[in-house]
Amino acid sequence: MILMNVSALETPAVLIDLDIMLSNIAQMQRHCDALGKAFRPHIKTHKIPEIAHMQLEAGAVGIACQKVSEAEVFADAGVEDIQIPYNIVGERKLDRLMGVNRVCRLTVSADDPAVIDGLEAAARRHNARLRVMVDLGTDIQRTGAPPERVVELARRIRDSQRLDFAGLLVYPSTVSNRPRIQAALTMLHDAGFAVDSVSGGGIGGAAQAADVPEVTELRVGTYIFNDVNTLNAGLCGIEDCAMRVRMTVVSRPDADRVILDGGSKTIAADRTDDGHGLIVEYPEARIYKLSEEHAHCDFSACSARPSIGDIVHVIPVHTCVVTNLHDRIYGVRGDYVEEIWEVAARGMVY
Amino acid sequence: MILMNVSALETPAVLIDLDIMLSNIAQMQRHCDALGKAFRPHIKTHKIPEIAHMQLEAGAVGIACQKVSEAEVFADAGVEDIQIPYNIVGERKLDRLMGVNRVCRLTVSADDPAVIDGLEAAARRHNARLRVMVDLGTDIQRTGAPPERVVELARRIRDSQRLDFAGLLVYPSTVSNRPRIQAALTMLHDAGFAVDSVSGGGIGGAAQAADVPEVTELRVGTYIFNDVNTLNAGLCGIEDCAMRVRMTVVSRPDADRVILDGGSKTIAADRTDDGHGLIVEYPEARIYKLSEEHAHCDFSACSARPSIGDIVHVIPVHTCVVTNLHDRIYGVRGDYVEEIWEVAARGMVY
């Protein structure tokens, strides 16, 4: 439904092209369907329950989110299958986790016996059962156990009175991590474990998924909006970038310098070698610096220059952190706003 | 009043040491008083009306904020003198600006005739007068006119039927920019302008204020909390850093790697050569990478290692962008929470 012309929005404002977003949703689901893998979108990119329901309607098996407070928002909004690929630590937080576990099919992960013990104690306090995956470490060196510790962790889950072993978790499930996945699976199979789910992820992992047949499920977030990072990685074209941040030119201090009214509070401080984002109307321009409320742009390579008051649209470097800065984002078709979404899980860090 | 023990807070949580904050407020006010300069705190660092009132109570003449939507929040909360050192552009936004202008002593800035024309038209629509400073460009190359254009802009303000020339605005007012300030003032005086206010700013500008006597007013934000940036610049000690982000150790994947439960969604992606912040309990540790929800830390230089579940406190690199990520921050004394502040102007980018 047309709500208003986009010109009625103050700038800066985060716009989502609805047709591009719907196309991205359908395309990733088709990609996973064709590979015979379950698809579990990571909601970190949008943080909006309405959009999660569109992804589920398209065929996703459930969602992934990163924190208990995010899971609460999506469980409250009726999402029935939630995975939190995170070590949940701390008694209060575990009690809240068990509240979510009561109302949906919840799965968490663990990379250490201490984490598993906390999960078991929480399940016991709440007289419930909880599904736990073993988090396998990868070449990004974040969390995750090495392959040789995976069997010990799986056993600790299985031997507990309250936990169910729910498979192997890996991020990102790129080809570079396939040897680790294979090693862990071999050891699990040799120890007598059935591994129903190998949940992989990352937009790179999704692109390489045909070459990592061990993975049964893909978690991907960024694909729904895309950004300069996915563009530079060759994973999409500009026509697949659904998020564009509408900004106004507020200063033209010299011949080549143009200042926009959005800075690191609007599009976050992320950058690439080319700067802090792509100006759609002036692809040769370079956002070379961000203050909190200003984008500093060099237009020396452009044949034309905008005037004070002109509107431009910026494709950000990293879309997920942009969503997290805004209370509302807008779904648009052409010049019209058709959706006003509250970013319901914005700022949910705990 | 003691509300609860800090251990009742989920992590990550942003804590403000109340005694350090109050000491920072008093110290900057004394510094400005001793120099005979007006002090106008920039609220971008806290975005909280209650804290602005503490700064006003201590002697500040008013506040500065960067956007109209921020000014609305502080005007609603009873702040009576607000400066927006920003080119306000666009008819809708200007109409909202005039609403704020109706209820408090408002001052804005301009660096271009087109901006001044927009301000005049808005003042005319609202049958009001508006105070406008001329924004002088500096060596940070953001907005601002060169000295030789300042008289033309001051004249355009004075000659309008609706605007009042309110002085010269400069950021940052460091010694490096003093020649520009002097050149602009000489030209203004020669053209017959009385310049009642020269509003400077920046924490560096405040530190060098004794050597820039032309500046009559200082705008500073970060001093109230301080951070690794001000620490590294030699402008404060660790004992002056009021903001500490309480985090939990959630993973210990190998001997030297420690993962905390706050990432770029919690402390923003800003970094220095030393990493993404200082861990108070382990100053030799290095936060070498942030994911959205994880801090990746190298503890190889530390003699001790924390366990999963341990609590640590991180002084962030840039405090202002941290506040902007959180709906609530907490004022603490020792182990007790005494204030729960809503970050009322969080996310106000327009």
> What six digits make up the tokens of A98?
């068990």
Measured distance CA(A41)–CA(B80) in Å, rounded: 48
Do residue B268 and residue A268 have CB atoms under 8 angstroms apart?
Answer: yes
- pLDDT at site A262: 98
Mean pLDDT computed over B277-302: 97
CA–CA distance from A251 to each of A93, A319, B287, B311 (Å)?
A: 47, 26, 37, 46
Do residue A309 and residue B264 have CB atoms under 8 angstroms apart?
Answer: no
Distance from CA of A82 to the nearest CA of B (A): 17
Chain B, residues 232-291, CB within 8 A of chain A, namely 248-253, 257, 259, 261-262, 264-266, 268-270, 291
The model's pLDDT over A118-130, given as tens digits with 9 standing for 90+, comes to 999 999 999 999 9
| 8 Å CB contact between A176 and A136 | no
Kindly indicate the confidence band of residue A210, based on its pLDDT and cuts at 50, 70 and 90. very high
- pLDDT at site B234: 95
Kindly indicate the confidence band of residue A281, based on its pLDDT and cuts at 50, 70 and 90. very high
| 8 Å CB contact between B79 and B345 | no
Alpha-carbon dihedral sign for residues B220, B225, B231, B234: positive
The model's pLDDT over A37-62, given as tens digits with 9 standing for 90+, comes to 999 999 999 999 999 999 999 999 99
* φ, ψ dihedrals at B145, nearest 5°: -85, 155
Give the closest of B89, B292, B347 to A250, CB-based: B89
* φ, ψ dihedrals at B138, nearest 5°: -130, -170
Residues of chain B contacting A144 with CB distance shorter than 8 Å: 251, 253
Q: What is the ipTM of this complex?
A: 0.95
Give the closest of A309, A321, A324 to B90, CB-based: A309
The model's pLDDT over B239-277, given as tens digits with 9 standing for 90+, comes to 999 999 999 999 999 999 999 999 999 999 999 999 999
Measured distance CA(A316)–CA(A230) in Å, rounded: 11
pTM given for the model:
0.96
**A267-277 burial code (b ≥16 CB/10 A, e <16):** bbbbbeeebbb
